[in-house]
Amino acid sequence: MSHPSISVLDRGFVRLIDHMGTDLSVVNAARVSFGKRKEAFDPKDSELVSYLAEHEHTAPFRHAYLTFHVKAPIFVFRQWMKHRIGSDFNELSGRYVEFPEDEFFVPATFRQQAKVNKQGSEGEIAEAGRAQAHETYLAACRNSVTEYKKLIELGVCREQARCLLPLGLYSEVYWTVSLQAAAHFLHLRLDNHAQWEIRQYAQAVRDLIEPLFPESLKALMQAPVV
């Protein structure tokens, strides 16, 4: 079975593995309070979905779930895994598998530190330093992987040898999340204050959710709080 997938960065992807529910599931979860159920979604249901999101009646959105297979650099997952409420993660384990040689993220450009936002970046570094920055980055990543492989060859266990590997190393995760929690993730990680790399993943997540829950996601994203 083929699963919809979107390529992200140089080697990553977001792939939709499974989902439960539709926009109709959301309104039926709300209407059960009155002992009612519908078999088809109509324009009045769009109004109900908007009302639920606007007034923070979010429980019905937690009856819809999605499972994604994500390949991303570890530093991206460090940020992503802060979103624990309403979601679960299972990650590729460096204790079980040996990491390949070339599976690290290489930025297309190197940004300079922002002058106002202490945690952020802005613009590209000066042209004079771009080639050297690229070479330095690649050398550090390749050296760490080379030394990691040496430790493995010397008989050092994978769980210790992996300590040498860079944060730019790609890992893989299964992420199962409620629709409400996914929308909360999108609110924060599509914001311009979020790191550029995770914003690319957030956009891919949004692009995969929208065809499945068009009315619900639109309402949640328009709401001030999700």
Q: How many domains does the chain have?
A: 2
Residue pLDDT, tens place only, 139-198: 999 999 999 999 999 999 999 999 999 999 999 999 999 999 999 999 999 999 999 999
Cβ neighbours of residue 56 closer than 8 Å, sequence gap 6 or more: 223, 225
Check 11, 62, 162, 189 and give the catalytic one: 189
- Segments forming the whole domain that contains residue 139: 111-164
CATH number for the domain harbouring residue 208: 3.30.1360.170
101 located within any domain? no
Alpha helix (H) ranges present in the chain? 23-31, 43-54, 74-80, 127-153, 158-161, 179-189, 196-209, 214-222
99 located within any domain? no
Residues 10 and 88 in one domain: yes
Residues 68 and 142 in one domain: no
Whether the Cβ atoms of residue 179 and residue 65 lie closer than 8 Å to each other: yes
Whether the Cβ atoms of residue 164 and residue 173 lie closer than 8 Å to each other: no
pTM for this predicted structure: 0.94
From 164, 185, 208, give the residue that closes a domain.
164
Asked about 78 being catalytic, the answer comes back as no
137 located within any domain? yes
**What is the Rg, in whole angstroms, of the alpha carbon atoms belonging to the chain?**
21
Residues 84 and 192 in one domain: yes
Residue pLDDT, tens place only, 95-122: 999 998 889 999 999 999 988 877 889 8
